Chains A and B, each alone.
Chain A
Amino acid sequence: MIHSTVVRVDQNTPTVRSIGFKWDCKVLPGQFIMVWIPGIGEIPISLSSTGNLKEITVKSYGPASDALTKLETGSRIFFRGPYGRPFTLVKGKTLLIGGGSGMASLKPLINERSYAIVSARTRDELLFSDKIHEGNLHLVTDDGSIGIKGTPLNALEKLNLTEFEMIYVCGPEIMLKKIFDSLRGKKVRAEFAMERTMKCGIGVCDSCSIDGLQLCRDGSIFSMEEVMEMEEFGRTKLSESGRRIILNY
């Protein structure tokens, strides 16, 4: 287990915090770490900053993430990694599509050539939209409190997709599936950050597998072409016990 000290904490939204720590290790956008909260649990989290100062962005949804959001400057943070295959970096214009806390793993990709569709349930929950140049930004909320009322698809259909060298997508699987279906057959290059129950992080336990590929080793970033081959994507996944759950998105 690696350990470091928390050097900064930022409240990004009412429910989301970013925790910064020093870790002298090369990490690429899209890679993740398994963060351990001694006595509570361990969860996979993508790095939301990959420079000298590393950062994770956490929303409380269970005991481990809840404990993480309570870490203060000076607290010790335990983790292992980095794990997973990163996003492919390109030189041209890119489109980031982030649903909810999905924007956290897309944040290291943000540069002056980035456009983004940032979506959340409500305006207070939009994450990292302030990091995108205003003219390049499309906001979407479920409740219509700001931007387009609807899903990222409603924003996507207004854009000329051929001008982007790469489209990066991160969010809940149902969102990924709908975006994948809408991009299918178009001449675009896209990568999807997948989500599955992850336990070991090192390619042995099979919890996070999709079509025989392990998200923790072979992903969690997959290309359009790879997703195209997946029978399980958007259809089924495994529960913590390994029971198959029907999704049918």
Chain B
Amino acid sequence: MSNRLQTVISGLRLDNPLILASGILDENGYTMKRILKEGAAAVVTKSIGSAERSGYKPPVVVEIGGGNMINAIGLANPGIENFGNEVKIAREAGKPVIGSIFGADAEEFSNLAKKMASYGVSGIELNLSCPHVKGVGQEIGSDPDLVESIVGEVKRSVNIPVFAKLSPNVSDIMELAKAADRADALVLINTVRAMAIDVYARRPVLSNVYGGLSGPAIKPVGLRYVYEVKKETGKEIIGVGGIQSAEDTLEYIMAGASCVEIGTALHTGGRSVFRAISRDLENLMASEKLDSISDTIGMAIQR
């Protein structure tokens, strides 16, 4: 790859703007390592909490067509004490591993961040937006005061970049973006609260009833939040939501994202999506005479 695709997020240098999103293929160190070797510039780990959690019973996903899905995995994770070895294995690929964490309050987030940092991750992503587990994620991520104290506490605890992943399931994202101002960058967006019913079984499909919608259907929502927050705050942003192609990536970059996270596209395209989108992005940027990602960030924002 040429230098054209290189980008920087909060000081982290990336070979290309494509990062594996949290929650997709990032529980097992060997999987993360393989995805990095197969073209992702960085990976975000599955969200890790203080204690081991098995998550919800299957069905945990529903495919709803068009490459979209609804999932409620339920923050399954081995617990922070059991995750060091997975980070170690993933880091063997020699690229940034970003540790995602979730908790109930500032103290828990700060303890998790310190432990995650000790495993050698390059950054911390705060999951302030999981839409389907009570007491963590979106429930605390909807409270600006709590968001402010969590971000502040974590920033005081570690000296690596801290990213705050915010939820689209709120009435005023600007309020939260401002509350998370001390984060090095914002991650926009998480999945959109949703559900599916099987009419023949006459009941919801997901064992948890509610889940998070992801895939191309939420791209316009993610794009709007990235654009709006970038325009209003000027903060560094990692774009997430429905990115499946080079055009989608460039849309997010032009809306103001410095890089993007890809998740659901792994379902339709497999692990090779990173290599495929990088190649297409290189060609698209060349044909559109765009010399670098950094010059393209926020290009579409109208003042």
Contact = CB atoms under 8 A, between A and B. Distances in A.
A72 to B, nearest CB: 17
Interface in B156-209: 198, 200-203, 205, 207
A205 B60 contact: yes
B74 to A, nearest CB: 10
Contact of A204 (B53, B207, B264): B264
Interface residues of A, number: 37
B52 A213 contact: no
B263 A242 contact: no
A205 B55 CA distance: 11
B262 to A, nearest CB: 11
Contacts of A202: 61, 63, 69, 267
Interface stretch (B4-12, B27-35, B106-114, B219-227): B27-35
A246 to B, nearest CB: 11
Contact of B59 (A42, A210, A211, A231): A42
A14 interface: no
Interface stretch (B79-87, B130-138, B235-243, B244-252): B79-87
Given A38-B198, A241-B55, A212 B78 contact: no
Interface string B265-282: 011001000000000000
A179 interface: no
A164 interface: no
B79 A243 contact: yes
A209 interface: yes
Nearest to B78: A243
B28 A209 contact: yes
A39 B198 contact: no
Contacts of B79: 241, 243
A212 B33 CA distance: 7
A204 to B, nearest CB: 5
Contact of B30 (A1, A36, A205, A211): A211
Interface stretch (A100-108, A141-149, A150-158, A232-240): A232-240
Interface string A32-75: 00101011011100000000000000000000000000000000
Given A1-B205, A42-B58, A206-B25, A242 B76 contact: yes
Contacts of A41: 57-59, 207
B220 to A, nearest CB: 22
Interface in A1-21: 1, 3
Contacts of B293: none
Contact of B82 (A78, A201, A244): A244
Contact of A212 (B34, B61, B63): B34
Given A39-B203, A76-B200, A206-B27, A241 B57 contact: no
B78 A242 contact: yes
Given A238-B78, A243-B78, 19 more contacts: A36-B201, A38-B198, A39-B203, A41-B57, A43-B58, A199-B58, A200-B58, A200-B61, A205-B60, A205-B61, A207-B76, A209-B25, A209-B27, A212-B30, A213-B34, A239-B54, A239-B78, A241-B77, A243-B52
Interface of B: 24-28, 30-35, 46, 52-55, 57-63, 69, 71, 73, 76-79, 82, 85-86, 198, 200-203, 205, 207, 263-264, 266-267, 270
5 contacts: A204-B266, A205-B60, A232-B30, A241-B54, A242-B78
